[in-house]
Every structure is written in structure tokens, then in C-alpha cells.
Amino acid sequence: MKYYVVDVFTDHLFGGNPAGVCLLDAWPDDALLQNIATENNLSETAFLVKQEDHYDLRWFTPGLEVNLCGHATMGSAYILFNFVENDARELRFKTQSGVLSVVRGDGGMLWMDFPARPGAPAPVYQSLSSALGDGIKDVYKAADILVVFDSEEDIKGADPDFEKLKEVRDEAGMPGDDFGVIITAPGSDCDFVSRFFAPNVGVDEDPVTGRAHCVSIPYWSKRLGRKELTARQLSRRGGRIWCEDMGDRVKIGGQVQLYLSGEIMQH
């Protein structure tokens, strides 16, 4: 099985978010997919099977399958553009979240077309206060939870209690473990900054998170009154994201670096 590791949402190696990408001829048992993702121990491993006019795409964390992942989708497109579909300008992926597409842009940029996931106003859940401390200004509930703070320093300095953060699921009535908590604030050298925590799926902090921007782009577009935005995710590795609000869809742009190519042995 051909296997690649790419760093996504970055212009240099060892930045952004690493993703595994596995190219398959057909779908094996789900148990094998999960074992590979657990062995890889990356926040997500993407698995792809070629169909006539698209690729079937699934994403697994070390603990479970998730229904939407941005960086592993962009990483998958990068691998296909460079190693399989050299002449293509656009790729389509059929996923649990519908059909997603990725287009080649200028200067090494890739642009994903994803569903917008605007949040509805929600209370400041006690579990969030316990996990994140003081300073929460607003909370919005979508497929993920968006927590708004005043300043970039609030985001940089956040030190979550991940056991408390797991309790958000029950208090907020989330349907399962496949969700995360986004913290966000205005940025100093970009429109907004964020971090993303998903301890319920075994990923305490995700380095750079495409799916989180399906929630944050509609919020910041409305708040700032602009459709085109720039963002940074303030994890240790860090990453830059270019954003566009298109109503019921969002465009998420970034760069990708190839770290590894190899073969997964199956016995």
C-alpha cells in the first residue's frame, strides 16, 4: 500500500499539520484501516480509492473514523496532483460530508471547497469554564464548539484541562466523540487566530485544522464584514490558512510539503 506523509498549511517542513495518505485499490476491512491509523499515530490518516470521476475518501484518527477532515483532504489532493493526476486542475472526493473538491492555485496554493458550518449561540458551559478558565466571551455550537476570546494572547496562553474538556460532550449534548473545541480571537498579523482541541477522539491539540475553519470562517466573516480573510493556528507547529466565505460553502487555502513516501507492508 503506497503511503505518504505531508505537512499541510505550511511553507516549510515540520510546520503545519502532518497527515498520512494511503492510496488503495479497494476497501479492506475497517479494522485494518483503524489499525493503520493507530500505528501511524497522526491526528488523521486519509484513505483513498479511485472511482471513475472522483475518489472515495475516508479519514481515521488513532481512535476512530471522523466525518470531516481538512488537512488530510488537502494532503490527499497534493499527493494525487503530484504523483497520480499530474495534469488535473481539480479533484473531487466523495466523503461522509458530501462531495468535496480541491483546486490547484498559483504559487503552490491548494484551495478546498468545504461545507460552511455556522454555529448557533450557546451558553458558556460549565465544563468549558472549568477547562479553559476565565475570559470566555461567547460560545457557538455547530459540529464543533467555537469559543471566542478577546485577544491573541488569550489563545496563546490557553492551557486546557483536557479531562474537563471531554465533559463538554455531555453538557452540550454533542451526538458523539467526533467533535472538537475551537478557541479563537482577533489576530495581530492576520484577521483571526485559533487553536483546536479534540481530546474525545484522542487528539488533545490538533496542529492546524481545516474543518475548524468551516465554523470559524462564517463567524469572522460576519463579525468583520468581509468575505476574504487570513488566519493562523497557534499550535506549537503553527500554520497559515487563507479563507473565503461563500455562503453555504467556504474556501480554505494553504500550502503542502512532502515529508515521506513509502510502502505499508501487509502480511
Exactly one of 44, 65, 152, 205 is catalytic; which is it?
44
Confidence at 185, pLDDT banded by 50, 70, 90:
very high
Confidence of residue 118 (pLDDT cuts 50, 70, 90): very high
- pLDDT for 171 equals 97
**Chain segment 164-179, per-residue pLDDT in tens:** 999 999 999 999 888 9
Examine the pLDDT at 94 and tell me if it is beyond 70: yes
Contact 134, 170 (CB under 8 A): no
State the pLDDT at residue 40.
96
- Count CB neighbours of 120 within 10 A: 8
Give yes or no for residue 181 having a pLDDT over 70.
Answer: yes
Distance CA 9, CA 61 (A): 18
Confidence of residue 266 (pLDDT cuts 50, 70, 90): confident
Q: What does pTM read for this prediction? A: 0.94
The full set of domains in the chain, from first to last, is 2-116+253-263 (3.10.310.10), 120-245 (3.10.310.10)
263 is catalytic: no
pLDDT band at 191 (very low <50, low <70, confident <90, very high): very high
Write the DSSP assignment of 125-163 as a string of letters.
-HHHHHHH-S---EEEESSSEEEE-S-HHHHHH----HH
Query: Cell numbers at residue 185, please?
Result: 480571537
Three cell numbers, residue 42: 497522526
CA atoms within 13 A on the CB side of 98: 7
pLDDT for 260 equals 97
What is the structure's pLDDT at 267? 54
The CA radius of gyration of the chain, in Å to the nearest whole number, is 18
